[in-house]
Each structure stands twice: as structure tokens, then as C-alpha cells.
Amino acid sequence: MAARPRTHKVNIPNLYCKLDRRTSKVYWQYRHPITGKFIGFGTDGDTAREAAIAANSMITDQQSKQINFLIDMTFKNTTSKDAGMRVSEWADKYLSIQEERVLHGEIKQTTLKNRKSCVLVLARRLPNVRLNNLDTKSLAAIMDEYKASGKPRMAQILRAVWGDMFKEAQHAGEVEPGFNPAMATRIPRAKVSRARLSFEEWKAAFEAAEKLQPYVQNSMLLALVSGQRRTDISNMKFSDVWDGHLHITQSKTGTRLALPISLFLPELNMTLGDVIKRCRDRVVSKYIIHHTRSHGSAAPGDPVGGNGLSRVFMEARNMSGLKFPRGTTPPSFHEQRSLAERLYSAHGIDTQTLLGHKSASMTEKYHDDRGANWITLAI
């Protein structure tokens, strides 16, 4: 006689299920691998599976830490390479240092978030390796995996963050001075695939945006005339204009800029003041770029977030029917910042100050049109 079919297959260690014949419900239980006690996980199978996987992982990590503690006690009085902080331990300490830097205003919350993701990659791959035993080969192997999967930019970021981790470890005395296997790896080369935006392409997208809410065209004009990032454009208020200048505190760098409202872009035949005046409408709002009608949870007068600006710019770009070279990513809202730099540079404006860059080399990156235009020989 064949066995009855099982409708609740359990392939997760320490997870069990049983049928209550009185209610015809299936109840899930988790058996603690150390104490042997059962813990009720309810009737939702998916939730029980996720909880069991998380519990197994937590117990494994706890056991691993206990074993490491015993090993550390054994080598407590030794100075060999068998002693020293492990990667997982230093990762926690490094991130706490970064959190302190956020509190002191040295770095931004977004920087902490990016560093945390990179640190966790290393902490999860090589958690129990001693920090002073980490070698360049191990780090390069992880970076090569990212490059092979088409993520060379991520490999660059990993290298930079890991390099900073070891600098902090040197400062804390956890490794010898100069010991930094991350910086000994080859810098990954990442080819920029995002296409530059020409002024003619910008005009095509701008004309298509006429069918969208008024703030779409206004945000494009403000981006091109001011040369600022999308988050800063989103945060601009009418009250930021005084003494003939638009005052901006850049969210990414904290740089404080005062742009004259007389700043003039010949290609548009408009000044910064003209654009700000255009943004004033019948809707009462303290934000220069604002919703003019209800949209989702946003009410008229509410600011348009950075992601919202990117989304509507992409919509206008697609509506324009613009085509870009194969193998490139269509230009995003941020590309208007590069276009502004190239336009103003041609008119002799100090674009390094306009963009708020601390170095001329960064401004040069924005000036590079990535081969989009012809190089003309003047005779």
C-alpha cells in the first residue's frame, strides 16, 4: 500500500509541522538544536520557514562566536598571527566608528549606508579570518566575482571602502602600520555606459514634458540654469532667495553656494531669476519645485522628491522618442548637471564654483562629453 501523499514538505533543519485533526490546521514548530525545546511558529508555513532559517543562522553564528572566544582565550598571551581581531569583529567596530562620524557631521547618512553594505560583504564572506591574516589574493578574488558579473563599479567601491577599513585598523593598532591588502589590489576599470545629453536632445525632452505637470519643465529649466543636483533642486525654497542670490547648501557635500539670480544661460535666453519667477503659480508652496495637483500621497504645494524628478524626466525623455547608441544607458536627470557645465564653460563661467566642486579634476569629469560630439579643427 502506497504512503499517503505529504502536502507539507519540510526540508529546513529543526522545523517540524503537525496536523491538528480537530481543526484540520497545520501547526509549525521549531526545535531548538541545543535545548531540545519546541517553539510554536504558528500556522503560516512561509513565515515559519523564514523564521526557522533565521533562527538556524543566529544559532550557528552564536556557536561560531563561542568557539572563536575559546580560541582567543587560548592565544591570549601570544603575539603570533594566530592572535588579533577577526574580520566580523572589526566590521562591527568600524561601522560604529562611521556612525560616530555621521553624528559629528563628518560624513552623510548615505555614505554610512554605502560603506555598511561593502563592509558586510567582507564580514559575511570571511567572518572568522584574523584581520592581520587577510591577504590581497582573497580580497581580489571577491572583487573579480563582481567584475565577472558585470559590476566593475561595485568592485571599485568595495576596494575603496575596504581600504578605509584597514586605515582605521592601522589607526586603532589592530594591524601593523602600512598593512592594507585592499590597496594592494589592482583598481578595477569601469567603463561609463551612461550617454551624455546634448542640448538638442534636452530641448526634445523639454518639449515632450509640456504634456506633463508644470513642475517637470520647471525642474528641467532649474537644473540646466543652476547646474545643481536633483536633491538640492527638490529642497530649494522661494525663501532661499535674498540679496539677489539663490542660497543653496548642497546635501551631498555641505558646500554653501550663493548663485546670483542674474546668472544667464544664452542657450535658453533666461536667467536664474526668470526660472524662479516662472515656478511661481496659483498653488501656495514654499518649495520652488512643487506639485500643482494631488498625486498619490502628495498634495498640491508639496515638494517633488529627487526620485520623482528622475522618474518624470525619464518619462519626458521616452515621450520625445530620442534614441541613444547601443550599449549605452539613456541619460538620467543628473546628466543635465553635466550639460550645464559644458554650456556655461563655453561662455567663460567658473563652473567649478557653479557646481560646488572642491577640485578641478571633478569638474573635468563633468566637462567630458564621452565622445558625443565631433572635435573640430580650427584653421
The set of catalytic residues is 229, 252, 334, 337, 357, 366
In angstroms, rounded to a whole number, what is the distance separating the alpha carbons of residues 216 and 229?
Answer: 15
In angstroms, rounded to a whole number, what is the distance separating the alpha carbons of residues 329 and 315?
Answer: 15
In angstroms, rounded to a whole number, what is the distance separating the alpha carbons of residues 321 and 95?
Answer: 46
Cell reading at 191: 567603463
In this structure, which amino acid lies at residue 198? Answer: S
Beta strands 241-242; 38-40: pairing state: unpaired
Helices (H), 320-375: 335-346, 351-355, 360-367
In angstroms, rounded to a whole number, what is the distance separating the alpha carbons of residues 289 and 302?
Answer: 9
DSSP-assigned letters across all residues of 311-344: HHHHHHHHHTT----TTSBPP-TTHHHHHHHHHH
Q: Nearest 5°: phi and psi at 186?
A: -75, 140
User: DSSP E strands: which ranges in 32-121?
Assistant: 38-40
Q: Nearest 5°: phi and psi at 247?
A: -95, 125
Residue in 222, 247, 217 with CA at minimum distance from that of residue 234: 222
In angstroms, rounded to a whole number, what is the distance separating the alpha carbons of residues 246 and 257?
Answer: 8
In this structure, which amino acid lies at residue 269? Answer: N
In angstroms, rounded to a whole number, what is the distance separating the alpha carbons of residues 259 and 6?
Answer: 71
Q: Which helix (H) or strand (E) holds 247?
A: strand 245-249
The gap from C-alpha 177 to its chain's centroid, in whole angstroms, comes to 31
In this structure, which amino acid lies at residue 274? Answer: D
**232: Cβ contacts below 8 Å, ≥ 6 apart:** 248, 250, 251
Farthest CA pair distance, the chain: 96
